[in-house]
Structure 1
Amino acid sequence: MNTSIYCPEEIKSFIDDGAIFYVSHSGGKDSQAMYALIQEVVPDEQIVVVRADLGEVEWQGVQDHIFENTEHKVWVVKAKKDFLEMVEKRGKWPSAAYRQCTSDLKRGPIFKFIRNDLKERGATIAINCMGLRAQESSSRAKKKPLSYNKMQSCNNRVIRHVYDWLPIFHFTTEEVFQSIRGAGQEPFWAYSKNERLSCVFCIMGCVNDLRHGAEQRPELYKRYVELEKQIGHTMFMKGKQPISLEEHVGIKIS
């Protein structure tokens, strides 16, 4: 079993050049394994852990889990809007093709933090570390494990070079859990039933994960069901036809 992170020569050069490694931590298994392994390669003073707080739509206890399993200060960032408010205003749920939840509630606040933190440190190189893996989907498999982020970089009045690094890009799910155990840690409790961890009711979640969410957070499940009816748009499709969350999950609200 190979649990060595993807660490090309460029990463070693970035370390020597004083780059700051911003480790995005969601509390999920991939983030947890990635952080533990990055610590073996990157000096502590060059690691910054940042978390995007999604509020009530997340699994309860996930933030405490992150705090308990990190040795660095965890910088928590949050968008000015929350998920359900965003859906209600837009009148639509996110989709695999239009993941506004990721761009507005996660990526946006994290990159804003990176820009500000880099400026305060007087540093010019940021390595945005993400726990994405090729095994997760065909679209993710097409990504490069190390790439230059042109959108977040600039070379004018302000000098800033941002790179996206996927340290566990080649890992299997088994290798991810092995890395967590190897660090003397346990994954978040929801993995006792879940395949993945994101929002409690994620558009990318399987039926089993969604059912587990409905069992654990019935009041939140009810709000999602009611919001579908309110805006006239559903989270999921059955073929080309919309299907309600209740039908998809198989749990009716009372």
Structure 2
Amino acid sequence: MQTATLFDLPDIQTLQEAPAAAAPAKPKPKRTSRVHASVPLEPSTTVPDEMIRDADWVVISSSGGKDSQAMLSYVVRRAKALGMLHKVVVVHADLGRVEWEGTRELAELQAALAGVPRFEVVQAKGADLLDRVEIRYGKLKTKAEEEARERGEDPAAVKVPPAWPSSSARWCTPDAKRGPIRTLYTRLVAELAHLVLGRPVRILECIGQRAAESTQRAQLAEVEINRGASNGKRTVTTWRPIHAWSDRTVWREIARSRLPYHPAYDWSNRRLSCVFCVLGCNNDLVNGARRVPELAAAYARMEVTVGADFKKGLSMREIIRRAEALEAAEGPAARPPAGTAMAEHVGRAMTSKYRARHAALYGLAA
């Protein structure tokens, strides 16, 4: 074995001039959210009437859509029977230009007609959904370029991840709905500050999610503690009152309640809230492009800005093309008769009774 001599070793100057080996990048520490020790792991009860009795506030989230209003009718009916309607608050997260016209007003009307004493509107501060897509794109682009430089690659050649919301990245919901609604929870807690409860304020949040909507929603619990929204001052229990309901059951409750529903359903929409929801079916998206073409055009322009299609495998440009093809073939669609959507699920007889009783009670066209 040959032994290295002093002359075989590099001198000190050579060592100093040699480039140092690149130190491996340290992974950024993950942020961990701490839950207050007072927040329970499981709800104390899952019995509807017991949950309403135990709650200090019963907050019903209403998008103005059919599931929200069916849930509203059902929960209010139970609260009235218990003599606890004074606890009920209906909250609508206003999405601005991206939601169907008249949605906020309809949600308020539904709450008033149901007899709910309090209706609240919350809204995300600053940018709306489309603006947030552009802001998100800028952040993603900056991050991708920085990572490329760290790897010694050309930052101009990076591929930026899609900035649009998706089924796997539904950042729009916490930004536009959950976050603003939690500001209401803070206010509701403050309103009870004069009471000496000796415990956190109990908020029962009612959400109109149904198992029939998607595989993901089918896996949600009907009742659970919302540990992310709970803290040392409040315990938030999530209740999904209509989680097991079918479409028919939803429409039967609407017919029974006599509350008005949004006309977009008569236009054949399956969902309501954002005109263009990434989780919406193709029919809803094309329907939206026919009814609100200026908003569809804004989405198409944003696709160009962020370099990605609005929905994976389906661009807004294609949605607009399909809408224009239908307009060319059929002409401007005539508004279907009121009650068309309900009749498809519960029949014409029940729908006729709904419309007649609705007009008699409220003096409004169904």
Give me the TM-score of the superposition, normalised by structure 2.
0.62
Alignment partner of 1:57 is 2:57: no
Contact 1:246/1:252 (<8 A) preserved = no
| Aligned pairs for 1:151-162 within 5 A | 151-155=228-232, 159-162=233-236
Residues in 2 aligned to 1:83 and 1:128: alpha-carbon distance in whole angstroms: 24
Residues in 1 aligned to 2:179 and 2:274: alpha-carbon distance in whole angstroms: 17
Match of 1:168 among 242, 260, 272: 242
**Alignment match, 1:94:** 165
Residues in 1 aligned to 2:324 and 2:130: alpha-carbon distance in whole angstroms: 20
The share of aligned pairs that are identical, in percent, is 36
User: Does 1 or 2 have the higher relative contact order (CA < 8 Å, sep 6+)?
Assistant: 1
Contact 2:287/2:323 (<8 A) preserved = no
Match of 2:273 among 175, 198, 207: 198
Match of 2:122 among 58, 70, 77: 77
**Alignment match, 2:51:** 14
Closer, same or farther: CA 18–143 of 1 in aligned 2, 3 Å: closer
**Alignment match, 1:222:** 297
Structure showing greater radius of gyration is 2
Alignment partner of 1:118 is 2:189: yes
Residues in 1 aligned to 2:53 and 2:324: alpha-carbon distance in whole angstroms: 57
Q: What is the aligned length?
A: 239
Contact 1:177/1:187 (<8 A) preserved = no
Alignment partner of 1:105 is 2:176: yes
Contact 2:90/2:120 (<8 A) preserved = yes
Residue type at the aligned position of 1:230:
T
**Alignment match, 1:180:** 254
Gaps of 5+ in 2: 1-44, 138-162, 194-199, 326-366
Gaps of 5+ in 1: 1-7
Residues in 1 aligned to 2:123 and 2:257: alpha-carbon distance in whole angstroms: 28
Residue type at the aligned position of 1:77:
V
Report deviation, 1:230.
1.4
Match of 2:212 among 135, 139, 145: 135
Residue type at the aligned position of 2:69:
Q
Residues in 1 aligned to 2:229 and 2:182: alpha-carbon distance in whole angstroms: 8
Give me the TM-score of the superposition, normalised by structure 1.
0.89
Residue type at the aligned position of 2:276:
F
Closer, same or farther: CA 131–231 of 1 in aligned 2, 3 Å: same
**Alignment match, 2:9:** none
Cα deviation 1:122-148 (Å, max 9, x = unaligned)? 471001100000111111111110001
Note the aligned Cα RMSD (angstroms): 1.8
Closer, same or farther: CA 124–226 of 1 in aligned 2, 3 Å: same
Residues in 2 aligned to 1:13 and 1:204: alpha-carbon distance in whole angstroms: 34
Contact 1:14/1:125 (<8 A) preserved = no
Contact 1:134/1:140 (<8 A) preserved = yes
**Alignment match, 1:3:** none
Report deviation, 1:10.
4.1
Report deviation, 1:244.
2.0
Residue type at the aligned position of 1:53:
D
Which structure has the highest strand share of the two?
1
